[in-house]
Structure 1
C-alpha cells in the first residue's frame, strides 16, 4: 500500500489518470531513459565516436524488462549517484562489445532532461486533445443558449441581463487562448539536452554539435542551440501553463458549483448512476466534480510554484533546481490530467435550466428588460464561435 493518498488503490483516480501514469510510471520512465541512451549511441556512431555495431546492439538490448530493478535501486542507494546503479546494470546485461559504449560523455541531466522533454510532448498531446474537446463542448453550449437570458452577476449579486450562451462563450474564448499558448510554446519546450559535465560538450571535441544535432533529430526534438542545464525556464513555463489551464477549469467549476445551488438552480453538473451525495442527508446532490476542479487547481499551482523556484539556479549545474522538478512536474501533469478529464465530463454533461435562468432574471431585474439589452452579448457569441472555427480549420488536431 502507498503512503501517498494520490497513489492509493482507493483514491488514486482523484489525483491522476491511467493515461498520465503510463508516462510517469517507473518502468516507463526508465524505458524512456534507455530510449534516450540508444538515440545517443546512434548519434555517436553516425559521427564515428563509437562503433556502429555497438550502437546497433545498444538499441536492440536496452529494454527495461532485461534489467534487475532491485540491483539498480541497490546500486543507486550504495553509490549515492542518481544513475550509477543503472549504468552498472546496463554494463552487466550488455554484451562485452557494447558495454563500454553506452552512456558515453553524457550526464544524468542530459538523459533526464531530454526524457522530460519527451514526457512534456506526451503530456502536451493529451492536454491539447482534451482542451479541444472542452472547447467543442463550450462552443456547442454557446450556440445552443446564445439567446437564453440570464442575470449577469457582479460581486455575487444580480447586475444586468446577459445570455448563458455569452457566458459559455467567455469560457470557450479562454480555453482557446490556452490552446494558443500550448501551440506557441512547443518550439521552446520540446528540445533535447546534451552538454556533458558543464554543458560545453567538451567530451566530444569538434564533433559535439553534430552529435547533439543528430541526437535531437533522432528523438524528434529540436536542437537547443545552447545547453540548458541551469536554464529551467522551459519546464517552469510548461508548469505555469498547466496552472493556468486548471485555473480556468476551476473558474468554470466554481460557476457551476454556485449556480447549481437549489435556491438558484440554473445549472447542474452531470451525475453518474450510483453516485451518492451524502450518506447522512440523502436529499443532497453535492457538486463533487465542480468542487474537485478547484482542489486540483490549487495543487497544480503549488507544484508550478516549485517549478518556478527552479528558475533561480547557480552556475552551470544546480541539483536543487532540476531534482525538485522530478517530483513537481509529474505531480502537476497528473493533477492537470485529472482536471481535464473532469472538465470534459462537466462541459459535455452540463445541465442547463434556461427556465430558471429566465425566472431568476425576472425576479431580480424585473420585466422591463428589452431584447436589445443582450444584443451585443449575442454578437460576441457569434464572434467567439467564428474565431474558434477559423482556428480549428488552420490547426492540426494533434500536438505539437
Structure 2
C-alpha cells in the first residue's frame, strides 16, 4: 500500500524488520523445543540464544540475489554469526513453517490495530446516535421520501452493524491465530509434534489441526472476508454522508478544516472527499477478497501461486481498512448536522409521507383496502404534481364519505407517532458495549481535490 494511506502503527506490522524478527523468534523457539527433547545440546542452545539476531533486510536481500529464495537467505544470514551451533537453525523445518507461522503473528497484530480503530469509531457513532435520537429527518427508500425517522436512528443502525463487524473481526483474528511446524507435507516426518506444540504455545497460537506444506488458505480467505465486510459497512456509512451532503439535500457536512480547499478552481466548494476516499478504498479491499478466495485451491500439498498474491493483498487490505476506520472516525467526530435543513426537506413534499397512516385509518374506518389505497394515491399524486398539501387533497376525497370525522382526520397529521417506539432501539443501543471514544490522534491524510 502506498504511504498516502498507511498509518505508522500498521506500517510497523508489515515492515521487513518485523517479519524477520518474527522468523528469528520462531527459529529460536524451535531450537528450544528440540533442546527440551534432548536432541539439541544445551551449550549449543546457549550459543544460539546469545548470538542469534534478526539480520538486516539488506543482508538477506544480498544473499537472496544468489539463492533466489528468501527463507534460505534468511537462514544463512542468521546462522553466520552463531558459529558451529548455527547448524541447528531451521532444523527439521521447511520454509512455510516460518512463512505461515510468522504471517499469523503479523495478521494477529494487524487485527488488533484494526479492532482498536473500530472500537473508537463505534464509540463515536454510538455517542452521536444518542445525541441525535430526536433529530427528525425524512427516511428515504429508493432515494425517494418514505416516512420520518430520526438521524439518531440512522446512526444507531450503523452502530449495530459496526458491532457485528467487530464480532466478525474478532472471530477472524482467532481463526488466523494458527501456527504450523509440521514439515514439508505436514506429516512431521523430520520434526516432532512436541516442537510445534511448544513453539505455538510460546507464541500464543494454536497448532494447525492438519496441514500440508502450508496452512490451508480458507483460513486467510475468511480473514480477508471479515476485512471486506467491514470495509463495506464503512462504504455504506460514507455513501450516506455523501448523499446527505449534496447541495440539494445538505443535511450534513463533513468537517472542513481551516485553510482547507475544496477545489483548485472554485473557492466555494466543500466536497465530501473523506467519504469519497473511504468508498474508493472499500472497492480495493472488496476486490482483494476475490484474490484471497482464488488462493484456496492450491495444487496437491502446496504450490506457490498464493505467495505473490498474499504479499500484496494482506498488507494492502489491513493497511487500507485500518486507514479507512481512522478517516471514518474523523468524519463522524466532526460531522456537521443541520436539523433545520432536515426539517425543511421533511416538509418539502406537502406531507405525502403521511400516506400509509391515512391509508390504515381509512381501512380501520371500514373502507376496502383497494378503495382506500386509490383515494390516498390520487391525493398524493395531486399534492406532488401541484405542490398542494396532502392533507387538504386527501380530505377533499373523503369528506363526503362520512367514514371519518374532520377532527379525527386532522389528528392523523402529527409527527410524534412515527418515532414513538424508537425508545426500544435506543434502549438496546445504550446497552451496546463500547469503549469510551478517544479522538483520532493522527491526521486523516491528504485533503486535496483527489483522494
- Answer whether TM exceeds 0.5 for this pair: yes
Partner of 1:346: 331
Please point out which of 342, 349, 353 is paired with 1:364.
Answer: 349
State whether residues 177 and 206 of structure 2, in contact with CA within 8 Å, keep that contact through their aligned partners in structure 1.
yes
Match of 2:301 among 281, 300, 316: 316
Distance 1:146 1:54 in 2: 67
- Aligned counterparts of 1:54 and 1:365: Cα–Cα separation in 2: 86
Q: Deviations for 1:304-341, whole angstroms, at most 9, x for unmatched residues?
A: 22111111112111211244212211111111111111
Work out the CA distance in 1 between the residues paired with 2:41 and 2:138. 73
Deviation at 1:185, TM superposition (A): 3.2
Q: Which structure exhibits the higher relative contact order, with contacts defined as CA atoms closer than 8 Å and separated by 6 or more residues?
A: 1
- Distance apart, 1:154 and its partner CA: 1.0
Report the alpha carbon displacement of residue 378 of structure 1 after superposing the two structures with TM.
4.2
Q: How many residues align?
A: 375
Q: CA separation in 2, counterparts of 1:59 and 1:153?
A: 65
Report Cα offsets for 1:229-267 as digits up to 9, x if no partner: 151011111111111111111110111111112221111
Match of 2:419 among 374, 386, 391: 374
Residues 197-247 of structure 1 deviation map (CA, whole Å, 9 limit, x = unaligned): 11111102xxx2211111101111112222261510111111111111111
CA 1:318–1:376 in 2, change beyond 3 Å: closer, same or farther?
farther
- The residue that corresponds to 1:3 in the other structure is none
The reply on whether 1:174 has 2:161 as its aligned counterpart is yes
Q: 1:162 aligns with which of 142, 149, 159?
A: 149
1:95 aligns with 2:140: no
- Identify the residue that residue 230 of structure 2 maps to in structure 1: 245
For each residue in 1:342-378, what CA deviation from the matched residue of structure 2 results, as whole angstroms up to 9, or x when unmatched? 1111122211111211121111352834301112344
Q: Distance in 1 between matches of 2:303 and 2:73?
A: 21
Using the size of structure 1 for normalisation, the TM-score is 0.89
Aligned to 1:280: 265
In structure 1, the residue matched to 2:193 is 209
Q: Kindly indicate whether residue 314 of structure 2 is the aligned counterpart of residue 329 of structure 1.
A: yes
Q: Please name the residue that 2:393 is paired with.
A: none
Provide the residue aligned with 1:269 in structure 2. 254
Tell me the SS of whatever aligns to 2:291.
helix
Alignment TM-score, normalising by the size of structure 2: 0.79
Are the equivalent residues in 2 in contact too, given 1:268–1:352 (CA < 8 A)? yes
Distance 1:59 1:356, change over 3 A: farther
